[in-house]
Structures are given as C-alpha cells and as structure tokens.
Homo-oligomer: A and B are copies of this chain.
Amino acid sequence: MADINVKIGPLVLKNPVTVASGTYGYGTEFLDFYPPCELGAVFLKGITLKPRAGNKPPRIAETPAGMLNAIGLQNVGLEDFLKIKLPALNNVPGVFIANISGDCVEEFVQIAQALNDAPNLAALEVNVSCPNLQQGGMAFGVSAQATEEITQAVRNVSRLPVIVKLSPNVTNICEIARAAEAGGADAVSLVNTFLGMAIDVEKRRPMLGNFTGGLSGPAIRPIAVRMVWQTSKAVKIPILGMGGIRTARDAIEFFLAGATAISMGTAVFQDPSAPLKIIKGIKKYLAAHKHHSIYEIIGALEA
C-alpha cells in the first residue's frame, strides 16, 4: 500500500485529504457520519477577534455546478472559540487547524497570540480574503504587500505552522503566493472563493442579502487547478489545493498540478462521506500506477 502521508511545513498529515474552512463548522457537526481523525485535517470555521453576527440572509444561492455564499464570517469570536469550541474537541481525535480573519494586521496578531496556548490545534490558517478596513475595505489578499505583512506578523508571534490562504480574485496569483512565502508562511492554501453574484429576476434583487458572495464548487475547479499549477512554479513551500474537488480524479488533478494536500468544501455538502471515498480513490490510483508514495504524483504533470 502506497504511503499517503504528507508534510505541510512541519505538520505531518496521515493522508492528504482535508476539509475546508467554513464548510465543516467547528469540527463536531459531522460527527454523526465518521470521526474526523479519518481525515488528514479539519480546517475549522473562520474566527475573528470579536464574535460576528454575519450577513443579512439569504446567504446561499445555487449556481451552475456551484454555489454562492455570503456568510459574512458569522462566528463565535476568539473568546468562545477558546472557551467552548476548542474544548469541545478534547475527546475528538483529529488534526484541527484554526482559520483566522481580521480587520487589520493587529487583529490577526492578537488572535495568533491567543491561540499559541490553545488546546487541540495543529496549525493556523490565515485568511487574507477578508477586507482590510484600514485600506478602504479592499481584501488584504489582493495586495502582495499586505499579504506579506500579515504573514510576517503572524509568523513572528505564532508557535504553530502558518498556512496562508490566498484569494483567487487577483490578476497575478504567483505574486501573492511569493509574498506569503517571503513573509515566512509554512504553506499556502488556495483557492478561496471567487467573488460572484446572482439575481432573482422576479424580485429584481440580488439572491444574497449581501449582494455579492463567494463562488465555490466544481464550477471553479479549472481556474483553481490553473492557479495551483502556476503557484507551484512560483514558490517552494507546500501548497494545499482546493476549489471544486468532488472525486478522486479531481483531487489527483490538483496533486499533479503541484498540491501536496487537498481540501474539500462544497462537495462535502453534496456527500459528507466524499472525503473518505476520495482517500480510497487516491490509494487505488497509486496502487494501479504502482507508486509507493503520494509524493510520486505531486507536481508530476508532464511538461
């Protein structure tokens, strides 16, 4: 049986299949289906310093082979995350990774510091797709400079491996990935959602209370694969690839394009057991191709 454990910086995952932040709650919501320790890792719901109420509903709209969401980072805030959500994982074996957002660099730093002593956390994922309130609300992640600045600030204070999650709403993904690498990121994850919009033509109102939202799901996969491939040529740190992965074949596309691990979000809504099926499918593929390790297919796209 081929070896499928992978290294994301200093972090070792028993398999390369993880679930994406915001789609798997605080790690306990899917316990009825299977224990999270069967997954490579669980990226927990994105948190902020203070609790957030989130956006006005409706927050979801379905689109061709995809969906829009505008949750607006509704979350319990750092304090309850530490007091309630993380301790709830005490008896849940698994690798859990926090996903953090903020309005300014200082907030990211505060959260990262507070999580240094938190139980049950294996790494930090830094979500730079949120708006930078000190720069007119443009997302941090569309600026290489802001991305490097945040990465460095978090890296300086955190004892955990730092994964920077990139926004795909940019002209040049490589430039941003390089900024994260320069800032000291242990890995980058991509893609976050694409900014999109759907309109209810009868009501003449946006389908989402927030007007625009993030597009995810199979629809975006070709763009995500391209970005992962470009990024893999641009940086040396490992890449966590995601965007529309639904089957083992899809996952393998990302490995060949250069991802060391993959993450699933929207497809888990369609089938909560999809990640387990993908783990099996990857093993089968490696066996069929007589590989001893998943590393033999990472970045193995023929040029």
Residues in chain A within 8 A of chain B (CB atoms): 61, 63-66, 68, 142, 169-172, 194-199, 201, 203-206, 212, 215, 217-223, 225-226, 229, 244, 249, 252-253, 256-257, 285, 297, 300-302
Contacts and interface: CB of A to CB of B under 8 A. Distances in A.
A65 B218 CA distance: 8
A204 B64 contact: no
Q: Which 9 A-B pairs have CB atoms at the shortest separation, nearest pair first?
A: A196-B222, A64-B218, A219-B219, A64-B65, A65-B65, A197-B226, A199-B253, A201-B252, A63-B222
20 contacts: A61-B222, A63-B221, A63-B222, A64-B218, A64-B219, A64-B244, A65-B65, A65-B218, A68-B222, A169-B171, A195-B223, A196-B222, A198-B222, A198-B225, A199-B256, A204-B300, A205-B301, A218-B219, A219-B219, A219-B220
B171 A204 contact: no
A219 B194 CA distance: 12
Where chain A touches its partner, the secondary structure class is: mixed
B65 A204 contact: no
Given A169-B171, A201-B252, 16 more contacts: A61-B222, A63-B218, A64-B221, A65-B65, A194-B223, A196-B225, A196-B226, A197-B222, A197-B226, A197-B257, A198-B222, A198-B225, A199-B253, A201-B256, A204-B256, A215-B222
